[in-house]
Chains A and B, each alone.
Chain A
Amino acid sequence: MDENLLEIRNLAVEYRTDDGVIYAVNNVSLSVKKGETIGLVGETGAGKTTIAKSILRILPNPQAKITSGEIFFNGEDVLVLSEKEMRKIRGNKIAMIFQDPMTALNPIETVGYQIAEAISQHNKISNSEAKKRASDMLEMVGIPMDRFSEYPHQFSGGMKQRVVIAVALACNPELLLADEPTTALDVTIQAQVLDMMRSLKARLGTSVVFITHDLGVVAEFCESVAVAYAGEIVEHGTVRDVFMKPAHPYTRGLFGSLPKLESTEPRLKPIKGLMPDPTNLPKGCRFYERCPDAEDGCAERRPDDAEVEPGHMVKCLRVGGGAI
Chain B
Amino acid sequence: MTSLLEVRDLKKYFQTKAGALHAVDGVSFVLEAGKTLGVVGESGCGKTTLGRTVLHLLEPTDGQMFFEGEDITRAKGKELRRLREQMQIIFQDPFSSLDPRKSVSESIMEPLILRGGMPRSEMLSQTRELMDTVGLAARFESSYPHELDGGRRQRIGIARALALRPKFIVCDEPVSALDVSIQAQIINLMLDLQDAMHLAYMFVTHDLSVVKYISDDIMVMYLGQVVEKAPSNELFSDTLHPYSKALLSAIPNPDIEKKTERILLHGEITSPINPKPGCRFMARCRYASEECAMQQSLVECSPGHFVSCCKYDKI
B295 sits at the interface (CB 8 A):
no
Chain A contact residues, majority secondary structure: helix
B188 sits at the interface (CB 8 A):
yes
A266 → B minimal CB distance (Å): 8
A271 sits at the interface (CB 8 A):
yes
Is there an interface contact between A260 and B188, defined as CB atoms closer than 8 Å? no
Is there an interface contact between A186 and B43, defined as CB atoms closer than 8 Å? yes
- Complex formed: what's the CA distance from A244 to B264 in Å? 27
- Further contacts, 20 of them, CB under 8 A, given A195-B264, A270-B188: A44-B150, A187-B42, A187-B208, A187-B251, A191-B265, A192-B264, A192-B265, A213-B180, A220-B253, A253-B181, A259-B210, A259-B213, A261-B236, A266-B191, A267-B188, A268-B188, A270-B182, A270-B183, A271-B181, A272-B185
Q: What size tier do the contact residues of chain A reach?
A: 35 or more
> 1/0 per residue B249-278: CB within 8 Å of A?
111111111000010111011000000000
A243 CB contacts on chain B under 8 angstroms: 254-256
A204 sits at the interface (CB 8 A):
no
B229 → A minimal CB distance (Å): 18
Identify which of B213, B254, B262 contacts A215 (C-beta below 8 A): B254
B266 CB contacts on chain A under 8 angstroms: 192
B212 sits at the interface (CB 8 A):
yes
B288 sits at the interface (CB 8 A):
no
- Complex formed: what's the CA distance from A259 to B203 in Å? 15
B160 CB contacts on chain A under 8 angstroms: none
A binding-site residues for B, Cβ under 8 Å:
43-44, 156-159, 186-192, 194-195, 213-221, 239-240, 243-244, 253-263, 266-272, 274-275
Question: Lowest 4 A-B CB distances belong to which pairs?
Answer: A216-B252, A270-B184, A257-B184, A43-B179
Is there an interface contact between B206 and A269, defined as CB atoms closer than 8 Å? no
B142 sits at the interface (CB 8 A):
no
A268 CB contacts on chain B under 8 angstroms: 184, 187-188, 213
B291 → A minimal CB distance (Å): 24
- Complex formed: what's the CA distance from A291 to B268 in Å? 43
Identify which of B151, B206, B209 contacts A259 (C-beta below 8 A): B209
Is there an interface contact between B179 and A213, defined as CB atoms closer than 8 Å? yes
A269 CB contacts on chain B under 8 angstroms: 184
Closest to A250 in B: B181
B286 → A minimal CB distance (Å): 13
Q: What size tier do the contact residues of chain B reach?
A: 35 or more
> 1/0 per residue B177-212: CB within 8 Å of A?
001111111011001000000000000001011101
B234 sits at the interface (CB 8 A):
no
Is there an interface contact between B247 and A188, defined as CB atoms closer than 8 Å? yes
A192 CB contacts on chain B under 8 angstroms: 264-266
Closest to A239 in B: B256
B52 → A minimal CB distance (Å): 20
B131 → A minimal CB distance (Å): 17
Identify which of A191, A239, A274 contacts B262 (C-beta below 8 A): A191
B149 sits at the interface (CB 8 A):
yes
- Complex formed: what's the CA distance from A262 to B250 in Å? 15
Is there an interface contact between A244 and B251, defined as CB atoms closer than 8 Å? no
- Complex formed: what's the CA distance from A159 to B269 in Å? 12
B264 CB contacts on chain A under 8 angstroms: 191-192, 195
A323 → B minimal CB distance (Å): 27
B269 CB contacts on chain A under 8 angstroms: 156, 186
Identify which of A219, A270, A272 contacts B253 (C-beta below 8 A): A219
A157 CB contacts on chain B under 8 angstroms: 43
- Complex formed: what's the CA distance from A253 to B184 in Å? 10
Is there an interface contact between B181 and A188, defined as CB atoms closer than 8 Å? no
Closest to B191 in A: A267
- Complex formed: what's the CA distance from A258 to B185 in Å? 11
Q: List 21 A-B contacts (CB under 8 A).
A: A43-B180, A43-B182, A156-B268, A187-B251, A188-B250, A190-B252, A192-B264, A194-B252, A195-B262, A213-B179, A219-B252, A220-B253, A239-B256, A254-B180, A254-B181, A258-B180, A260-B255, A268-B184, A268-B213, A270-B185, A270-B188
B212 CB contacts on chain A under 8 angstroms: 259, 261
Is there an interface contact between A261 and B209, defined as CB atoms closer than 8 Å? yes
B256 CB contacts on chain A under 8 angstroms: 219, 239-240, 243-244
B246 sits at the interface (CB 8 A):
yes
A240 CB contacts on chain B under 8 angstroms: 256
B253 CB contacts on chain A under 8 angstroms: 216, 219-220, 261
- Complex formed: what's the CA distance from A57 to B268 in Å? 36
